[in-house]
Chains A and B, each alone.
Chain A
Amino acid sequence: MTGGRGHGGGHGRGLLPGRVQFAAHLAGALTPARPPAAAATGAGREGWAPLPRRAVRARPSGRGLPGRAKWALRAASLLVPLAAWLVIGGAQLVEETFLPSPAAVWAAFTEMLADGRLVSDTLASLGRVGAGFGLAVLISVPLGFVMGMSAAGQALFEPGVGLLRYMPASAFIPLLIIWLGLGEASKVAILVIGVVFFNTLMTADVVRKVPGELRQAAATLGATSGEIVRKVVWPHALPGILDAMRVNAAAAWNLVVVAELVAAESGLGYRIVRAQRFLQTDTIFAVLVVIGLIGLCIDVLLRVLRDRVGRWSA
């Protein structure tokens, strides 16, 4: 285009005169010897200094980390605090009642393990989580499907669930004790309240994200509405539902301990309250570590399950 002046390309007949006019308009007093097209693009740019280039750049793919370095960092994230604890505890910088030494915590742990309290407390807490979380999942997954698949379901449940979600479950504890007493029912109920609303909304989101095209494709292949739910929406949503469950299992595990702190005769939370009464901080520490480790195990289990089920997604 640069050299052609109205008689160049065969297909430019209608285009060039206009461009020449446009160029002349833009170029103003520029030397008439310049090819018009070049004048059009070159008008203001002539005087600009070269655009500076920045020396620092982002690395969009992130910094790669060799496997060994990754493991070293993972180990450090646990070992450094542990070492600090050993040093501070060992040097008796803080009174033993406030910060027990690792040795004292270990002793408390083995003692609880030996007399069976640890096992029975852990089973009590796990049993409550199993019942409460399980019930919440049984309610929230179908409810989430209804909300995710039908506009009516969405309109009916979204406001209520959305509001209840913002009420802290732990604030229901006094109410539930009045309603259901101090037994297991109130603890299971608190877990259901703490999990069901979040899990419902998260499930509904996952279900809503199933591409409509897949449902349409299934329909054109002869699937009924029920078959679309079972054979398309369910398998497509399952990994996302497991993700939601993983997040909410952590919440449930936290909440059961809170509930046991308030009112219980067994469980890991109850063990902490007991220990507090006798200023047994070493026992409290040991129970906290156990709570953390069990939570981690639940998370890893759910993650393994999710990765198996979701192998198909990129």
Chain B
Amino acid sequence: MTLALRDVGKEYGRLRVLDGIDLTVAPGEFVCIVGASGSGKSTLLSLIAGLAPATRGTVTLDGEPVTGPGPERGLVFQSGALFPFLTVAENVAFGLRLLPLPRADRAARVEWYLREVGLLPLAGALPKELSGGQRQRVAIARALACEPSVLLLDEPFGALDVQTKEDMQLFLRQVWLDTGTTVLMVTHDVEEAVLLAQRVIVLGCDPGRVAAEVPVTLPAERPLEIKRTAGFHALRSTVEDLVRANMSTR
């Protein structure tokens, strides 16, 4: 799977939110998009998810143009957006139930993903009974169960406390290593981006455009302690400076 954006632009009325975005994500990559608030990160992700049409340019997945939302581009919202009236297991099964799958096959898949995100004991719980971190795990499992070609995440850990956030970051990285799914994640947390991604895209403001691209030259093995190394600090500073330099001047 290759995700490709060619000269993509988005306007809301006269407001130019995105302009001339060129971006390619290769199969199995983990890419993070960072940028100041209002730079158009969420807008970009919703274009890729097919929830809003681009006003210019093309978004393609394996050469196929994106025309609407679909399970091959799973999206995880900041709020999780779990179906509150379904249990954890039913949430994870949502996409699978829309497909002609034998019941046993579906159950096995749901169980595998619940185990992967460590929520098998909570399979029968309702979303209101979960903590914020657990909710995000369900949201990620729900998207992954549809075996997306690319997993899109919009600030999935933005609402979590620092400890839970670190847990979830390690968890997401592990899921990526386990499943080999391509991941494109939006965040405003530069540290998170550098810790997780192989490549960090910096979005500039007014209008949103790709301002810079920083390859993350860290080893594949990334325990939390890596944040204390000089290499990590250097990368983090580089990206932070780029974000700051490309902030809105308005």
Interface residues of A (CB under 8 A from B): 211, 213-214, 216-223, 227, 231-232, 235-236, 311-314
Contacts and interface: CB of A to CB of B under 8 A. Distances in A.
B77 interface: yes
A236 B51 CA distance: 21
Which of A223, A311, A312 has most chain B Cβ within 10 Å?
A312
Interface string B98-140: 1100000000000000000000000000111000000000000
18 contacts: A216-B77, A216-B81, A217-B77, A219-B51, A220-B74, A221-B94, A222-B70, A222-B71, A222-B98, A222-B99, A222-B146, A223-B98, A227-B98, A231-B94, A232-B83, A312-B126, A313-B84, A313-B128
Contacts of A218: 83, 94
A217 B81 contact: yes
* Interface of chain B, main secondary structure: loop
A219 B126 contact: no
Interface in B21-80: 49-51, 68-71, 73-75, 77, 79
Given A220-B49, A222-B146, A214 B83 contact: yes
A237 to B, nearest CB: 10
B20 interface: no
Contacts of A312: 84-86, 126-128
Given A220-B49, A222-B146, 17 more contacts: A211-B81, A216-B49, A216-B51, A217-B77, A221-B94, A221-B98, A222-B71, A222-B95, A222-B98, A222-B99, A223-B95, A232-B83, A235-B85, A311-B126, A312-B86, A312-B126, A314-B128
B77 A213 contact: yes
Contacts of A311: 126
Nearest to B78: A213
B43 to A, nearest CB: 14
A213 B51 CA distance: 10
A213 B71 contact: no
B142 interface: yes
Contacts of B75: 216-217, 220
Nearest to B139: A217
B22 to A, nearest CB: 24
A220 B71 contact: yes
